[in-house]
Amino acid sequence: MWVANDLAPAGERRAVTAPAAGPVVSVNNLVKRFGPHTVLDGVSLEIGRGQMVAIVGRSGSGKSTLLRCLNALENIQGGTLNVCGHDLSDAKLAKRDLRRDVGIVFQSYNLFPHLTVERNITLALTTVKKLPKAEAIEIAHRVLALVGLSDKAQAYPEQLSGGQSQRVAIARSLALSPQLMLFDEVTSALDPELTGEVLKVMEDLKRQGMTMVLVTHEMAFARRVADVVVFMHQGRVWEMGPPEELFTRPRTAEFAQFTSSGL
Mean pLDDT for 242-258 is 94
Report the candidate in 111, 235, 100 with the shortest Cα–Cα distance to residue 181. Answer: 100
Task: Return the CATH superfamily for domain 29-260.
Answer: P-loop containing nucleotide triphosphate hydrolases (3.40.50.300)
Q: How far apart are CA 107 and CA 165, in angstroms?
A: 11
What is the arrangement of strands in the sheet containing 78-83, beginning at the earlier edge strand?
Answer: 37-47, 25-34, 78-83, 86-87
Residue 244 has pLDDT above 70, yes or no: yes
Least confident of 161-165, 181-185, 191-195: 191-195
Mean pLDDT for the stretch of residues 187-199: 89
Q: Say if residue 34's pLDDT is above 90.
A: yes
Question: Contact at 8 Å (CB) between 188 and 217?
Answer: yes
CA 224 to chain CA centroid, nearest Å: 18
pTM of the model: 0.88
E-strand ranges in 57-195 read: 78-83, 86-87, 102-105, 180-184
For 206-221, write each residue's pLDDT tens digit: 999 999 999 999 999 9
Q: Where are the domains of the chain?
A: 29-260
* 262 has a pLDDT exceeding 70: no
What is residue 199's predicted lDDT score, i.e. its pLDDT? 92
